[in-house]
Structure 1
């Protein structure tokens, strides 16, 4: 977002117009809406700014719920912003550790600062980008215990704070930044602060695990089966005895697996009547072995995350399937089986086999009223196809 667009948006006319619009729908006749707003006398720049913000608010509802209706966003800021439910858990760590003055360095649009302020902690949100800082100030305007500073996170004097939270910006205006030294603030700076004071550092879930400092708590978080982040926690905001954690949030509520370190894999064995796909957070935290043992299960292959057993279990940490048919992976035989069963709707899951599910679905020429899940994977090093039904 350009500064000129933000000025249009923050005008009395802009905010009033934004709040007057109906909920944004991608199927709406946007061209007609633009025409109507222009006919009403609004400038082209204002109309563009307001409709762009209405679109972002609609997207933000999945992260912020009804709060999104009163917030402002940028494209990049919304993409990186912590979901409010997760941000509340981050904030709770600082409160539970008895910390009261928190610096949120690289605050973006202010999602984590909002959660910290909401539980009566004093928070200073520092954001280098001027437009993003202004949006954070708008989003935090209702919290007298929150302050926004437009500045460089690596230059902030931290003597007055007893805890720090960092969400390094991992992309610029044009691309995602792969080198942690290019992040803002840099990863070395963030982890260096963790050696000095209680700190939490939010990172992308695919971070190279070798970069995670020993002696810290690394918590992978998934929301509705989507792994959204890994938090690296230092000092008083890290839990004693927890080095690896998988936090799973969904319709079931919240559940967590924890361990001191990566868990050893479970034994491998033959395919049982039931198959389980661990949640991505469990896989990334390398707690598959602990999950398998808790279910009395075994791994299907020592290189693949699927686990199997002869009992049906409902767990928030994995999706379960009842095995219906198993055969070596052969498209001709698979096509015959699906035709015989009248399978017209097929979910395809693959792990350990190089195949394009969309192209495979076309080649299978599906017909019929039935539905099933096709699991393509390896067992004992051999490629297999498993026809299954979700539990």
Structure 2
């Protein structure tokens, strides 16, 4: 912000962090635009400012903090501060409960290479209060929908299976993908989407399913031996089996490759075997 010529007040109650921030501002030649204040930010009146950005401490002495009200500063204070400013952005943990997110913000989950890295609450002009958004990096593809969406249909496994990006799952936008591809969930509690026709989207990884088996290690091992599968990718949702343990027990050998999904279909432990589309 300071590099763009904007005057910034930076607040942190940790003296060492404040000193490092001052040193960085000096080193970058921005000290005239950045005021660093060692203070409790909850005692700062944010109403005179054009924008507010809050990156609360989400770790304590015992590790990661899951309760947003235990953040430093708490999410409730950050939200109140955001509502006093024309624009605001609040960083939150990607796993924050959706019920902790107020209706005043647009909530965005951001993934990088499929791994969910960040979540941000946006306030002000240009954002849709109550909407949920998933943004994928490095492509920049972004998907948004009002929340909550209606529950998607559930049905049998079709020829194709789609694994939504983690940001889409965190943003509860799987139902939007189901509608877009004309598909259904394989189980009401599992974020795997299936359809009978191929579908291409940056928000999913697609697979063609060749086999569906009840969960049975011996049957899977026999099928993989018959197909001469030497390279096996194991994915799971709703299964306690560890991928490395499964690969070890399969004793793989051969030139072929396959992907196995350990999941539930209509509540039943199931193995789906296939290969990536494209």
State the TM-score, normalizing by the size of structure 1: 0.65
Indicate how the Cα distance of structure 1 residues 180 and 288 shifts in structure 2: closer, same or farther if over 3 A, else same: closer
Cα distance in 1 between the residues matched to 2:56 and 2:150: 31
Q: Secondary structure at the match of 2:239?
A: coil
Once superposed, which parts of structure 1, at least 4 consecutive aligned residues long, lie more than 6 Å away? none
Cα distance in 2 between the residues matched to 1:309 and 1:118: 49
Deviation at 1:375, TM superposition (A): 0.5
Check if 1:194 corresponds to 2:82.
yes
Check if 1:357 corresponds to 2:243.
yes
Q: Secondary structure at the match of 1:314?
A: coil
Q: Deviations over 1:102-129 (max 9, x none)?
A: xxxxxxxxxxxxxx23433322221222
Deviation at 1:317, TM superposition (A): 0.7
The equivalent position to 2:10 in structure 1, one of 119, 125, 135, is 125
Q: Which residue of 2 aligns with 1:284?
A: 170
The equivalent position to 2:148 in structure 1, one of 236, 250, 262, is 262
Check if 1:322 corresponds to 2:211.
no
Q: Which residue of 2 aligns with 1:233?
A: 122
Check if 1:332 corresponds to 2:221.
no
Alpha-carbon contact 2:153-2:184 (below 8 Å) kept: yes
Of the structure 1 ranges 221-230 and 167-176, higher mean CA displacement relative to structure 2 is found in 167-176
Deviation at 1:140, TM superposition (A): 3.5
Deviation at 1:235, TM superposition (A): 3.2
Q: Secondary structure at the match of 1:191?
A: helix
Q: Which residue of 2 aligns with 1:180?
A: 68
Deviation at 1:174, TM superposition (A): 5.1
Cα distance in 1 between the residues matched to 2:38 and 2:199: 51
Indicate how the Cα distance of structure 1 residues 262 and 195 shifts in structure 2: closer, same or farther if over 3 A, else same: same
Runs of 5+ consecutive residues of structure 1 not aligned to the other structure: 1-115
Deviation at 1:139, TM superposition (A): 3.4
Check if 1:149 corresponds to 2:57.
no
Cα distance in 1 between the residues matched to 2:65 and 2:202: 33
Cα distance in 2 between the residues matched to 1:196 and 1:158: 7
- Larger strand proportion, structure 1 or 2? 2
Q: How does 1:56-75 map to 2 (within 5 A)?
A: none
Q: Secondary structure at the match of 1:140?
A: helix
Deviation at 1:379, TM superposition (A): 1.5
Alpha-carbon contact 1:126-1:133 (below 8 Å) kept: yes
Cα distance in 2 between the residues matched to 1:189 and 1:321: 45
Cα distance in 2 between the residues matched to 1:263 and 1:349: 26
Alpha-carbon contact 1:378-1:384 (below 8 Å) kept: yes
- Larger helix proportion, structure 1 or 2? 1
Runs of 5+ consecutive residues of structure 2 not aligned to the other structure: none
Q: Secondary structure at the match of 2:63?
A: coil
Deviation at 1:241, TM superposition (A): 5.8
Q: Deviations over 1:239-297 (max 9, x none)?
A: 136511111113xx111111121222322222122110111111111111111111222
Alpha-carbon contact 1:241-1:259 (below 8 Å) kept: no
The equivalent position to 1:207 in structure 2, one of 93, 96, 104, is 96
Deviation at 1:130, TM superposition (A): 2.0
Deviation at 1:214, TM superposition (A): 2.0
Cα distance in 2 between the residues matched to 1:242 and 1:192: 16
RMSD of aligned Cα (Å): 2.0
Cα distance in 1 between the residues matched to 2:266 and 2:184: 12
Q: Which residue of 2 aligns with 1:298?
A: 184
Indicate how the Cα distance of structure 1 residues 342 and 129 shifts in structure 2: closer, same or farther if over 3 A, else same: same
**Quick one: higher RCO (CA 8 Å, sep 6+), 1 or 2?**
2
Alpha-carbon contact 1:263-1:288 (below 8 Å) kept: no
Alpha-carbon contact 2:109-2:134 (below 8 Å) kept: yes
Cα distance in 2 between the residues matched to 1:258 and 1:242: 11
Q: How does 1:338-349 map to 2 (within 5 A)?
A: 338-349=224-235
State the TM-score, normalizing by the size of structure 2: 0.90
Q: Deviations over 1:154-210 (max 9, x none)?
A: 122435412111011011355223343432112221122133223221001101111
Q: How does 1:40-51 map to 2 (within 5 A)?
A: none
Cα distance in 2 between the residues matched to 1:384 and 1:317: 24
Q: Which residue of 2 aligns with 1:83?
A: none
Cα distance in 2 between the residues matched to 1:371 and 1:388: 9
Indicate how the Cα distance of structure 1 residues 369 and 192 shifts in structure 2: closer, same or farther if over 3 A, else same: same
